[in-house]
Amino acid sequence: MPPETLTPERILEATEEVLRRYGPAKATVVDVARALGVSHGSVYRHFRTKAALREAVTERWLDRTSEELSVIVTEEGPAPERLDRWLTALFEAKRHKAGDDPELFATYMTLIGESGGVVDRHVTDLEAQLTTIIEAGVGEGAFHTPSPATTARAVFDATGRFHDPCYAAEWSRPEIATDFEAVRDLILRGLRG
């Protein structure tokens, strides 16, 4: 049977496993190549540098959240309900990433610190998704705001405690769900004017 074709996706999957096993300080491109059964030169044909590989892994990780949330943005239904689901899904996604695999989450926290452009693009995408929902709410007459984009940034900032990884230590506290619901409900009431 011929060997499986080396693709960027296979390399990223292997890199994620290597990072989980060794952590960002010790993981090398040689480790990734070894896990794939190829030379490190084969990995470099797809990713020019170790930094490019690490950035691609970080982007892939962040994109998973964006893709999950984009489904809510395009769903049918009233904008207030979609905003409620979107904010809840963002909080749950981030909380699960931190709690379900703390070692990999710590690794990604290191990688995120190295990949500012990737993080900026992720935040821009999330704010654009929020803007789309808020614009729909204005169009429905459910939300009242003169600038949906400015409001989206404000909503994103106001909910930072529930999605910004620097607050991850708080996400396992028993009262965090109640705190989230209070902020989410306040935002929804405020948008309804």
Same domain, yes or no, for 31 and 60? no
d(CA 144, CA 190): 9
Same domain, yes or no, for 182 and 138? yes
d(CA 104, CA 110): 10
pLDDT in tens, 168-187: 999 999 999 999 999 999 99
For residues 48-74, average pLDDT: 93
Contact 58, 112 (CB under 8 A): yes
Assessment of whether the complete model's pTM goes beyond 0.75:
yes
* Total domains present in the chain: 2
Q: How many residues are there in the chain?
A: 193
Same domain, yes or no, for 59 and 44? no
Domain that holds residue 160: 54-192
Domain CATH number, residue 22: 1.10.10.60
pLDDT in tens, 119-175: 899 999 999 999 999 999 999 999 999 999 999 999 999 999 999 999 999 999 999
Q: What is the pLDDT of residue 3?
A: 59
Residue 140's alpha-carbon distances to 82, 83, 123, 136, in angstroms, are: 13, 13, 26, 6
Q: Is the pLDDT of residue 1 over 60?
A: no
pLDDT band at 100 (very low <50, low <70, confident <90, very high): confident
Same domain, yes or no, for 84 and 176? yes
Same domain, yes or no, for 106 and 187? yes
